[in-house]
Structure 1
Amino acid sequence: MSAEKDGPLRPPVQPMLAQARESLPGPGALDGGLAMDLKWDGYRVLAFTSVRRGGPFLLQSRKGSLLQDRFPDLVAAAVQLPPGLVLDGELLVLRGDGVMDFGALQRRGAASALGRVRTLAKAFPAYFVAFDVLQVEGRRVLAEPFERRRALLEGLFAGHALGPPWTLCPSTRDRAVAREWLETWTRTPGIEGVVVKGLQQSYRPGARGWLKVRARESTEAVIGAITGTLGRPRLLVLGRYDSEGRLRHVGKTTDVSDAAARQLAGQLTAASPGTHPWEGARFSTGWGTRDVLDTTLVVPDRVAEVSVDTARDNGVWRHPVRLVRLRLDMPVDDVETF
């Protein structure tokens, strides 16, 4: 981080990160017992209020960029916050029907023209879900255990009667409650799973000291393209047909195993020129990148069962999915529509 060792924190500050787990860990996985927070599908951000009242409010992205000019509604609401505060949290936006919308959040984050910024702020209001605190009244609290930092965070919301757009992230120490969140709450757009923290853990900027568990489900998609070769596919590009019969791209898999590649090799056929609905299409290597995959289009007559998480944008899985198996028993027409 850029600030002096003992002075008030200033951007950029690296947020503490989490490593993925398939399921909730045991009670002894992290220091001093576990706390479990809801995991949100938004922008990870740090919020800074000036140590002097009336000073600038700063909103820093995970990568260190300053975003406050794109979110004037949060800047205006920062008058609710005390000076010398640094919060860690998730930035979300809501549609008019109250549903979280990652695509709208992206549009707000990319807007630069003042008129466009104001229009988007009115149509898609922003919310800050706070799940940690790094500084209180100009005093760093990174070395404090999470249990203490959570108490400070709860005291902040209660003592200042904070309300929307400032929201306190739900947190529990009860594994049964966390399992309920994974099984039911993640059906709500914008909620991905849980983040697991040790009650005695300090806040270590940039370290992957927390654990994250995303809710997953099995579903099916049509195989429309591959990388690698027909003899040894590397990953699959997937689609689903919409109500008008168009094959729409919905995502891609992680690298497939050698065993799965052997099964796929005998089942996929290269599409003839001029016959594939994706001819001329380009597929990015990752969400938000401009690098493109080197793909081979295949006849879209095979179905893959895949394991997916809940992060989606307009029907497209934002994270790579995992191939479970090839569904030779399932016709393309039986796959869920786009």
Structure 2
Amino acid sequence: MTLRPPVEPMLAQAVESVPGSGVLGEPAFEQKFDGYRALLFTPTGAGERLLVQTRRGRLIQDRFPDLVAAAEQLPDGLVLDGELVVWDTAAGRLSFEGLQRRAAARGRAARELAASLPAFFIAFDVLQEDGVELLRHPYRRRRLRLEALFTTHRLKAPWTLCPMSTDLIKAQKWLESWTDVPGLEGIVVKAMNQPYRPGYRGWYKLRWRDTAEAIIGAITGTLARPHLLLLGRHDTHDRLRSIGRTVPLRPEAAHLVGENLTAADPEHPWTGMRFVSAWGSRDALDVTLVRPELVAEISADTAVDHGGIYRHPVRFKRLRLDLTARDVSRFRADPGTSAS
């Protein structure tokens, strides 16, 4: 049966370490890029054109005319799964902010942005080829067909083959060194004998994490037993900028933090601010402001926007009672972003 959008993609669950061979059998490791998950459909008949579907089923090919123009490189009847990313030509790096701009632009604006923020599709799976659906085939066979597709058709930018290895040592090196490059988040672990199961979390993702410090500016829960910590850093004008929040604290950590919190003074810089439950969400948190003087050591992944805003919740590691708020590194907005 020919696949048509919307198709629900197979998903990955976050883990702290590579699952053992008893879980996966023979594993495969792919680099994980910081972009938009997307499925790509080439025409299956006359009068059709390239379709680009988001993870949630929306069609967004009108936002990416550069991909549509390059579709002539691809054969008909093809469905690819991959990551949509954008290259910032001025900054010389992958840019999630640039991807957001591209995804919001249409018409003339989309065509103009394509010059300075060209899009790339990083393919890591093939779900259909020559109109034949491949979901039941094991990943090993699908990967071989994907590699052959790139070789046979001599595909070039904006089409990119996602790096993959079955060597655990090589994958660990990716985590330890390669993922400190902006745009690379970590690795995805798959089983070589897995079929493609739409909507099923059968893969595993490990994000590279770094340690940093941040100022505790607010909490959820109570002063005695905080649940989440809302974090900030001072910018170059000494204004406390919100940078994200933690995952829920463990009981022992909540007890320790609660012993050191102090209720906010009336002139707290975040008075009147609204905080949401997750990046991109509209659901407001019920927060209590605290004196912005405690420093938390945190563990965070590489998904960071606008000079220091974490898109994913960070992990609280410990209090740094040996540091003051002035010891925490400054929030520095990217060039072209507002510092207000």
Instruction: Using structure 1 for the length normalisation, give the TM-score.
Output: 0.95
* Aligned partner letter, 1:292: A
CA distance in 2, matches of 1:217, 1:204: 32
Deviation of 1:27 after TM superposition, in Å, equals 3.2
Letter of the aligned partner of 1:298 in structure 2? V
Which of 21, 26, 30 does residue 24 from structure 2 map onto? 30
3-state SS of 1:291 partner? coil
Q: CA deviation at 1:29?
A: 2.6
CA–CA distance in 2 between the matches of 1:146 and 1:267?
Answer: 51
Cα distance between partner residues in 2 of 1:286 and 1:151:
38
The structure 1 segments of at least 4 consecutive aligned residues displaced by more than 6 Å after TM superposition are: none
Q: Who is 1:98 aligned against?
A: 92
Is 2:52 the counterpart of 1:46?
no
Gaps of 5+ in 2: 332-340
Question: Is 2:203 aligned against 1:210?
Answer: yes
SS in 1 for 2:273: coil
Q: Paired residue for 2:9?
A: 15
Match of 1:280 in 2: 272
1:298 to 283, 290, 294: 290
SS at match of 1:163: coil
Match of 1:223 in 2: 216
Q: Is this contact kept in 2: 1:53–1:83, CA < 8 A?
A: no
2:105 maps to 1:111: yes
Preserved CA contact (<8 Å) 1:284 1:293: yes
Deviation at 1:111, TM superposition (A): 2.3
Q: Deviations over 1:28-72 (max 9, x none)?
A: 4314x0110001110000000111366211000000011101111
1:172-220 Cα offsets, whole Å, 9 max, x none, are 0001100000001110111110000100100000000111111112211
Alpha-carbon shift at residue 247 of structure 1 (Å)? 1.3
Q: 1:260-279, CA deviations, whole angstroms, 9 ceiling, x for partnerless residues?
A: 11111121112122x11222
Give the whole-Å Cα distance in 2 for the aligned partners of 1:11 and 1:91. Answer: 17
Q: What is the deviation of 1:331? A: 1.6
Q: Which residue of 1 aligns with 2:61?
A: 68
Cα displacement (A) at 1:101 = 0.6
Change over 3 Å in CA distance of 1:150–1:308 after alignment to 2: same
Query: Are residue 318 (structure 1) and residue 311 (structure 2) matched?
Result: yes
Amino acid at match of 1:181: W
Using the aligned pairs only, state the percent identity: 57
Task: Measure how far apart 1:222 and its partner are.
Answer: 0.4
Q: Aligned residue for 2:48?
A: 55
The residue type paired with residue 128 of structure 1 is F
Question: Which residue pairs with 1:142 in the alignment?
Answer: 135
- Which of 172, 175, 179 is residue 186 of structure 1 equivalent to? 179
